[in-house]
Amino acid sequence: RIAVVQPGVVEGPGSVARRFDRGEELTRSLAGRGVDLVVWGESSIGAGAWERPETARRLAELSRLVGADLLVNVDARQTDGSGRSGIFKSAVLVGPDGPTGDRYDKMRLVPFGEYVPARSLLGWATSVGKAAGEDRLRGDRQVVMTLPDGARGLRIGPLVCFETAFPDMSRRLVRDGAQVIVAQSATSTFQDSWAPAQHASL
């Protein structure tokens, strides 16, 4: 059984902290419900929060309370396995003792929203819209995560938002052994537009 936590917090001042707090509240309500995995949405943990040890402690406490791992999504400055440092958008698995070490860094980024193509030529876009002020870094490989034995060793394949538009990514995860594809997304930036419905249709 997989639980999906949807805070319903629209993008705006203070939304990052409110999204985390609401996600925590909703996750607590899952205690005793017999779930195997709790999935939080895209950018559920933002810059600043991920660097604080208290965040990992709170997430681990939630995992113990619910009796299941949490798949959260971190949009913050991190260092990847090859030593690159920058802003990654990452699916991170957290268990009762904290982050398990399973992490997937988003590979296919949204043009202008997460990076500016040819920034030296098109960087002016950041001054007239919501274009990324700093480019996110791309992950270099897809990851299949295996949940603990308590969840029957379920193998999950994470995708992040825009990546659901690319069938080759889902196919690769299935070929690599994923039994469930988990797509973390947040479309609150595009409220009152055609974008959420179009994205859901994919």
Spatial contact of 40 and 5, defined as CB atoms under 8 Å apart: yes
Mean pLDDT for the stretch of residues 16-39: 92
Catalytic, out of 51, 54, 61, 106:
106
Compute how many other C-beta atoms are within 10 angstroms of the C-beta atom of residue 38.
Answer: 26
Catalytic, out of 89, 114, 161, 163:
161
Residue scoring higher pLDDT (176 or 121): 176
89 is catalytic: no
Architecture of domain 2-201: 4-Layer Sandwich (3.60)
Distances (CA, A) of 168 to 47, 59, 121, 174, 176: 30, 32, 31, 10, 12
Catalytic, out of 11, 24, 25, 42:
42
- Of 33, 57, 94, 68, nearest in space to 149 by CA: 68
pLDDT in the model for residue 92: 95
Domain ranges of the chain: 2-201
- What is d(CA 49, CA 125) in angstroms, rounded to the nearest whole number? 28
Compute how many other C-beta atoms are within 10 angstroms of the C-beta atom of residue 89.
Answer: 26
Mean pLDDT for the stretch of residues 111-120: 85
pLDDT in the model for residue 189: 58
pTM, two decimal places: 0.87
130 is catalytic: no
- Of 165, 111, 136, 176, nearest in space to 47 by CA: 136
Whether pLDDT at 98 is above 80: yes
Structural tokens at position 198: 């179009």
Residue keyed to tokens 């009152």 = 192
53-83 pLDDT, tens digit each: 889 999 999 999 999 999 999 988 888 888 8
pLDDT in the model for residue 193: 62
42 is catalytic: yes
